Amino acid sequence: MIIFAVWTLITALVTLGLTALIGRYLIPYLHKLNFGQTILDIGPSWHKNKQGTPVMGGIMFIIGIAFTTTVSVILYVIFGTGITGVYQIDPSKTLVMVFTGLALALMHSGIGFIDDYIKVVKKRNLGLTAIQKLVMQFAVTIAYLAVLGILGYGGKTTIPFVGQIDLGWLWYPLAAIVIVGVVNAVNLTDGVDGLDGSLTFFVALFFMLISTMIGSVGVSLLSASVAGGCLGFLVWNFHPAKVFMGDTGSLFLGGMVCALAFAVDMPVLLLPLGFVYLAEMFSVVLQVGYFKLTHGKRLFKMSPIHHHFEMCGWSEVKIVTVFSVVTIIFGIISFLLVRFGL
């Protein structure tokens, strides 16, 4: 147990260091390419001072997470089981869960990269249209779910205090809707310095604890790597941000959060662990719906909800702190649900 804990910690620290180091060279390069953020007039007026801050910074943690996870998991499969004893694993399942998860996140990140490229290089502020983005997201999500189905990991899900449920074919459309919804919810959360990275750090941390508790070694290492990557990125992204992750990074994190939930066979955990992400998404849905129904009235001062609190006078650091505390509380609830519900 102690050896595995050290292995996990090293995985997180290496990802943290590698991500932060990449940022040291990536940020000046993005400046050189003039890949700066264009701040829209519809946002808070004080965000105008962020004009020109480099985007696509998510590349740094994507490389850090993908590289470190690959090395750490493969080394564990080859050498780790003989060292750690209690954590004997099924190598094939471990590799499938880790690398299909990475593939899901990378494919969504590719969509984000296209979106960022159109915004920054082609100077079209809105990037991909909503329809274009959704079609591409459902396409890569269906590909991910199809692979899981072919390999025998689809159709069933586990719910704490209920047990495993066989949903049959219904699992696939439900899973696709959940993944695309959560990926976009994480994307919408990226609007305040350090917010998306901080929340995803804690989400990954609790997935690491949960997966370790249930003996899912590969997911533990992947979660640790994601947590380390988020911390490495926050070195450069915490207020005042020197770089933004862009859709390249936020869609990757959204895909990764979903991959972790499906890898432990408990996507239901996205409800508590992803509470803030979902609140951000539904604040937009409610705002748009209320605006249309009342012919111009607003439910919030601005959406997503983090902008509402900004308009109420909260600093960006306060928003990140409060939203992180909420995520920690729901993370503890999630951990207890799994601990006593399985």
pLDDT by residue (tens digit) across 144-176? 999 999 998 989 999 999 999 999 999 999 999
Measured distance CA(200)–CA(273) in Å, rounded: 10
Domains in the chain: boundaries? 2-270
Widest pairwise Cα distance in the chain? 66
The confidence score (pLDDT) of residue 51 equals: 73
Quick one: which H or E segment has residue 240? none
Average pLDDT, the chain: 91
The confidence score (pLDDT) of residue 3 equals: 79
pLDDT at 12 over 70: yes
Measured distance CA(26)–CA(24) in Å, rounded: 6
The confidence score (pLDDT) of residue 82 equals: 60
Please, which residues bridge with residue 163 across strands? Answer: 159
The confidence score (pLDDT) of residue 85 equals: 53
Rounded-to-10 torsion of CA 38, 42, 46, 52: 0
- Helices and strands: H and E segment counts in the chain: 13, 2
The confidence score (pLDDT) of residue 138 equals: 97
The confidence score (pLDDT) of residue 123 equals: 67
Measured distance CA(88)–CA(310) in Å, rounded: 48
The confidence score (pLDDT) of residue 2 equals: 76
Which string of DSSP letters, residue by residue, matches 54-73? B--THHHHHHHHHHHHHHHH
Mean pLDDT of the 295-305 span: 92
Mean pLDDT of the 310-320 span: 95
pLDDT in tens, 203-216: 999 999 999 999 88
pLDDT at 50 over 80: no
Category of 296 on φ-ψ map: left (φ > 0), alpha (ψ -120 to 50) or beta: left
Phi and psi angles of residue 54, each rounded to the nearest 5 degrees, phi first: -60, 140
| Burial class of residue 50 (count of CB atoms within 10 Å of its CB; 0-12, 13-18, 19+) | middle
Pick 52 or 325 by higher pLDDT: 325
- Residue from 51, 52, 64 nearest 25 by CA: 64
Using 50, 70 and 90 to split pLDDT, how confident is the model at 273? very high
Q: List Cβ neighbours of 243 (8 Å cut-off, separation of 6 or more).
A: 23, 26, 27, 30, 53, 54, 55, 57, 236, 237
Using 50, 70 and 90 to split pLDDT, how confident is the model at 243? very high
The confidence score (pLDDT) of residue 216 equals: 87
pLDDT in tens, 14-44: 999 999 999 999 999 998 888 766 655 555 6
